[in-house]
Amino acid sequence: MEAPIHCAPAPYALFKLAGDDASPDFPQPDVQILTSAGLRIPAHAAVLASASPVLESVVDCPPKHRSSGRVIPILGVPCAAVAVFIRLLYSSRYEEDELGKFGIHLLALSHVYSVPKLKQRCAKAVGQNLTIDNVVDVLQLARLCDAPDLYIKCMKLVSTNFKPVEQTEGWQFMQGHDPWLELDILQFIDEAELRKKKARRHREEQRLYMELAEAMDCLEHICTEGCTSVGPYDVEPNRKSLPCSKFSTCRGVQLLIRHFATCKKRVNGGCSRCKRMWQLLRLHASICEQLDLCKVPLCRQFKLRMQQEKKGDETLWKLLVRKVVSARVMSTLSLAKRKT
């Protein structure tokens, strides 16, 4: 059953121009695209073959009925979507509203007929129109059409809005007909949570390393220049001096030093605050490069002790030292960047 060709005015106008008003060198349409509604869209076999390898193989096949001409059925999608698809095979120009309206159908057609550039554009357009209601359907289409960027975008939307997505008809239909996809979604959500925990743990570790690096700077500052209440043994602390730029950390180190100097439990290792001070001094000795000029107490003794200790016992400590050194470098670079 044939009907007038009025479902796709834009491509038909192009064909009419080629057949009636164009130069004699432009060929007449030699194939017809048959849509689900039974309508036919004229086209040029050479154009279709050059745009799509799948259509090229279809065009090269001899027609079963030569009297009726070559007819290529494109079924299962709206007639207007087929018309837009054929027009886009002729020209790369497209309208945003067309991709917004027929993006899903054009994505499927561009995948089936191997038109990669159009497929990429359609996947991007569909991704820009994702909603809670259609994300599961688009996710299934993205998997079938091998559109990884769109697939990941759908997965992220489902992961961040799992509760409302779980209430949609698309999710309920998927549960009954595609349990493997449901398993993939749940696994993706689980992996996303693990990544978040890992990133959170990494941030906490970096914060700890930055605090240790700042404590190192304050310790060196106190032992070389002195601060508000604690200073080098040969310099009287100036209580009238203004607090340093890192006074919140510096004050804590000063209190720790004052406690360490008077604590009676530190000899037996029974004081937790003194243990932190020992670790701070040891960490400084591991980083310090001024062997003879350093004014930090016990720096030289700790260096000699570390040289005598076994290498196997120092693995974790050396790792901590590297992390703190890296944090100090990053802190210095960020400070210099802020000043510029």
For the residues 120-142, what does the mean pLDDT come to? 93
Other Cβ atoms within 10 Å of 299 Cβ, number: 22
33: β partners: 41, 72
pLDDT tens for 212-240 read 888 888 888 888 877 766 767 666 666 65
pLDDT at 73: 92
The number of CA neighbours under 13 Å toward the Cβ of 297 is 12
For residue 207, name the pLDDT band (cuts at 50, 70, 90).
Answer: confident
**pLDDT value, residue 218:** 84
Predicted TM-score (pTM) of the model is 0.63
For position 19, what pLDDT does the model report?
39
pLDDT digits (tens, 9 = 90+) for 134-159: 999 999 999 999 999 999 999 999 99
Going by C-alpha positions, the residue among 27, 35, 31 that lies closest to residue 2 is 35
Of these ranges, 20-24, 157-161, 330-334, the one predicted with the greatest mean pLDDT is: 157-161
- Beta-ladder partners of 42: 32
pLDDT of residue 15: 44
- Between 221 and 181, whose confidence is greater? 181
Which pLDDT tens digit goes with each residue over 184-204?
999 999 998 999 999 999 888
Q: What is the pLDDT of residue 268?
A: 58
pLDDT band at 21 (very low <50, low <70, confident <90, very high): very low
Mean pLDDT, residues 16-35: 64
